[in-house]
Structure 1
Amino acid sequence: MTGVFDIEPGPISPPAGPSTRRRQVLVAGGAVLAAGAVIAGVLTAGSSGHGRAQHAAVTSDGLPHTSVEVSPSACGHGWSRPKTGQQVFDLRNTSSAASEVDLTDPRTGAVYGEIEGLAPGTARPMQVTLGNGTYAFKCLPDDADAVTGPTVQVTGATGKSGPAAVPVTQQDLIPLTLSYQKWIQARTVELAKKTEALSAAIDRGDLRAARAAWLSAHLVYERMGAAYGTFGAADKAINGTTAGLSGGVHDTRFTGFHRIEYGLWHSEPAGSLRGPADRLVKDVRALRDNWPQQRMDPAVLGLRAHEILENTMQSELTGRTDYGSGTNLATARANLDGTRVLLGCLRPLLKTRDTGLTLLDSSLNRTQQTLDEQQHDGRWTPVAQLDRTRRERVNSAVGALLEQLADVATLTDVRRTA
């Protein structure tokens, strides 16, 4: 990769708080796997008493099915005649507690299939492709220790197994998160200096210089997207929009970069911008000074790699956050830089889990080139002025990259192992 990715060692992240995104598929090779791969948590069979109609729906796929018991005392029981190739395990929870179920390689811990939240008395299908090797079901009931079922040897396969990934633990992510937090600390120092330069230009009435200083400072902030959630209320104060403000751009609660952007590009006099600029400097300095005491959640590190550009797609490529500068694509480019930094942190884990890193690198470079093509003589084309062809190219590049980053989020999701 190029750019920030090569410069920064590693760490990651945006909105804080535990991830609520449900894992539904196991990902490998840089692509979400469909038929012939691992599918989990997609279909719910409901109660085991739903009768023939439901049984027919599950087995009409033409694949061999094996009924497997899920419980602390009989985890994996029922799988006595192993088959090779694509197949379905109908997992039945016969216990009194909800459970997660993984199909694993007991030697390495690699997961070939997973189902979350299998309720008592229900059954759900797990579709996998099995090649030669050893396998075992691991049952992880709520509020109880994990139980690994009997090891099963599969032989005689003519093809390879479907994808698998060794689970990532919180301990794996802690050093990467700490490294990223140090990177953010350096950015807060840089941000404070640039917002002070913006305020100084406004103080002396040089609005042309202020517009250039505004963009320079704002892009520093936009590269820090993986940490926004940890910023808490500071994020809204520094980079909030008019969303939810009854007075719109004239609301006294409208502060930060976008308040100053509106004034700079709507011919407000310097005197009216001194107050918002002074407050921005104050808020940024507080963020810089308080950041060493903050702690990011390692468990959401991989998810943030996807969420940064997801937010870019929703807010920047639609022009929703343009208050006059027309620099949404510059912001998108800064968000891409932030994503590279995050992936730089995650790369030690991805190298051993994701065979599609080369494709991901190519997609990152393609997206960067597509965005850079929208800058001419130091000026960025406003989103509203993109013709249809260029708009489609930008959306397509970011959209394709988002799909690959969803795989990163899945592979680096913290999984329970005990």
Structure 2
Amino acid sequence: MTARARFRRPLLAGALALAVAGGAVGLTLALDGSAAAGPAPLAVTVDKHACGAPPARLPAGPVDFEVRDAATTFVSVYVTDPTGARAYAEIRWLGPNHSLPLSASLAAGRYALRCVFSDGPVLTSSTVAVSGSATDTETGYRPMNSTELEQPVTAYRAYVAAALPHLLDAARTLDADVARGDLAAARTDWLPAHLAYERLGAAYNSFGDFDGDIDGRPDGLPDGVDDHGWTGFLAIEHALWHGAPADRVRPLTQKLVADVNGLIADFPSEDIDSEDLPLRAHEILENALQFQLTGQEDQGSGTTLATLDANAQGTQEVVSLLAPLVRERDPGLVETLDQGLATLRGQLAAAHGSAADWPAAASLDRATRERLDGTLGALLEQLAALPNLLSPRNGA
């Protein structure tokens, strides 16, 4: 049995696949399937012959449809402009013989319903003319095409590929320290090597078994921290800070070098799913909240706050690559995320201060811990918008 990989898919991911995050889209579907309170919704039935029959005219302001799929296949339904260039509300997936609400607040203009069936047909309803004025109307968003994420993914692969040789150099330095019996130097050089790996957060899911070998936790191993199958940075950390002699640490550092070499050789053949990149931006810091800010991953060095800072840097890289796509759909979100990440890193720097060593997470005073927890929690809420905002809209 190998060490448990560091990566965890959060429970939030399932909810994000069903609910629109961040208010960029006008869908007001609750998680229990109920619609927001208001006037009786307008019944619309869609099938392979027509994308419903919405009213020809509607007043500006809130509009609520109750959409039923009368076809035998799943369908995605959108409120769009007549050309489909901008969408204002959506039902991501509607099953046969089922109904779901579709709601938006529309300004004066021309709109239509657009139906994209899972087996290919794309239909657009007759035009709906909306007149009058209303406040708090949807600005709409430009639907994503799956090919738009190819460039950020290519750029992220290049970022990882460029970083891996530095990781290997750091692992070799650590191994050389142990080889000559200088465990004090090894304890100094362990952290830079570990952080070099932690900055690659969005790629963990593409590393396969290498992630567990290089940075796995002892969770679930038959003998826990004493299990012979536990290898990688955290196993080395535990050995270095719990008095293991050099001849017991050396096999771990040798295997680390071998595993990083293996990862470098394997990485060109590994895929990073384009739809995974926006999700990873959230997951990196969700894992950091669970394992780093709590100190749960600490194996003796007391450096999980440094790991959290490295995770924030990894998130910054992903956000920077996704920024052009995000700005087209939610102009203020990138600046909000940048500010949140800067605030988090500033608070971590303040906690570190001028000390040579990072403070252990368990040593933080209550005010500092609550401040970091609040900043990280708010940032996670903002990052939660990315997976849905940048999810391809199936031909919308």
Under a length normalisation based on structure 1, what TM-score does the superposition of the two structures give? 0.87
The code of the aligned residue for 1:368 comes to R
The answer to whether the aligner puts 1:375 opposite 2:352 as a matched pair is: yes
8 A Cα contact 1:105 1:135, kept in partner: yes
Matches of 2:348 and 2:391, distance apart in 1: 29
TM-superposed deviation, 1:65: 2.3
Alignment of 1:124-203 (within 5 A): 124-159=100-135, 161-203=137-179
CA–CA separation in structure 1 for the residues paired with 2:293 and 2:62: 41
Within-5 A mapping of 1:380-395? 380-395=358-373
Q: Is the 8 A contact 2:316 2:338 kept in 1?
A: no
User: Equivalents in 2 of 1:343, 1:409: separation in Å?
Assistant: 12
2:395 match: 417
Identity %, equivalent residues: 36
Q: How many Å separate the matches in 2 of 1:23 and 1:307?
A: 14
| One-letter amino acid of the counterpart of residue 174, structure 1 | E
Identify if the C-alpha distance between structure 1 residues 76 and 43 changes in structure 2 by more than 3 Å, giving closer, same or farther. farther
Determine the C-alpha separation between the residues in 2 that align with 1:336 and 1:124.
38
* Contact 1:69 1:78 survives alignment (8 Å): no
Matched, 1:39 2:17: no
- Counterpart for residue 401 of structure 1: 379
CA distance in 2, matches of 1:253, 1:146: 52
Q: Say whether residues 1:218 and 2:212 are aligned partners.
A: no
Displaced runs of 4 or more, over 6 A: none
Distance 2:46 2:212 in 1: 46
- 8 Å contact kept, 1:40–1:114: no
Q: CA deviation at 1:294?
A: 2.0
Q: CA deviation at 1:22?
A: 4.1
What does the per-residue CA deviation read over 1:134-187, in whole Å, with 9 as the maximum and x for residues that have no partner? 211111222132211112221212335224221222211112111110110111
Q: Distance in 1 between matches of 2:69 and 2:27?
A: 20
Partner of 1:105: 81
1:262 correspondence with 2:238: yes
Hey, what's the Cα distance between the residues in 1 that align with 2:226 and 2:163?
30
Decide whether the 8 Å contact of 2:110 with 2:127 is kept in 1: yes
**Secondary structure of 1:128 counterpart:** strand
**Using the alignment, how far apart are the partners of 1:406 and 1:22 within structure 2?**
8
Equivalences for residues 1-400 of structure 1 within 5 A: 22-27=16-21, 31-32=22-23, 37-40=26-29, 42-44=31-33, 61-63=37-39, 65-107=41-83, 109-159=85-135, 161-356=137-332, 357-376=334-353, 377-400=355-378
Say whether the 8 Å CA contact 2:84–2:114 is kept in structure 1.
Answer: no
1:342-401 deviation digits (Å, cap 9, x = unpaired): 111111111211122222221111111111112131311111111211111111111111
Shift of 1:336: 0.3
Provide the rounded CA distance (Å) in 2 between the counterparts of 1:108 and 1:328.
Answer: 47
Distance 2:318 2:53 in 1: 42
Q: Which amino acid aligns with 1:102?
A: Y
Letter in 1 for 2:280: R
Write the distance in 2 (CA, Å) between the matches of 1:362 and 1:348. 17
Closer, same or farther: CA 76–42 of 1 in aligned 2, 3 Å: farther
With over 3 angstroms needed to count, the CA separation of the structure-2 counterparts of 1:169 and 1:87, relative to structure 1, is same
Q: Secondary structure at 1:351's aligned position in 2?
A: helix
Alignment partner, residue 3 of structure 2 = none
Distance (whole Å) between structure 1 residues aligned to residue 342 and residue 285 of structure 2: 14
* Separation in structure 2 between the aligned mates of residue 63 and residue 163 of structure 1, nearest angstrom: 22
- Give secondary structure in 2 for the equivalent of 1:298: coil
- In 2, distance between residues paired with 1:164 and 1:215? 46
Tell me how far 1:21 sits from its aligned partner.
5.6
After superposing the two structures, state which structure 1 stretch, 386-395 or 163-172, moved more: 163-172
Distance 2:101 2:84 in 1: 24
Question: Which gives a bigger RCO, structure 1 or 2 (Cα 8 Å, sep 6+)?
Answer: 1
Structure 2 portions without partners, runs of 5+: 1-6
Which letter maps to 1:299?
Answer: E
Alignment CA distance shift 1:246-1:252 (3 Å) = same
Contact 1:26 1:113 in 2 (8 A): no
Structure 2 CA distance for aligned equivalents of residues 33 and 109 of structure 1:
15
Q: Paired residues, what number?
A: 385
- What RMSD, in angstroms, separates the aligned Cα atoms of the two structures? 2.1
Q: CA deviation at 1:120?
A: 2.1
Q: Report the CA distance between 1:224 and its aligned residue.
A: 0.1
The residue number in structure 2 matching 1:8 is none
Contact 1:26–1:163 (CA under 8 A) maintained in structure 2: no
Give the Cα–Cα distance (whole angstroms) in 2 for the partners of residues 32 and 259 of structure 1.
43
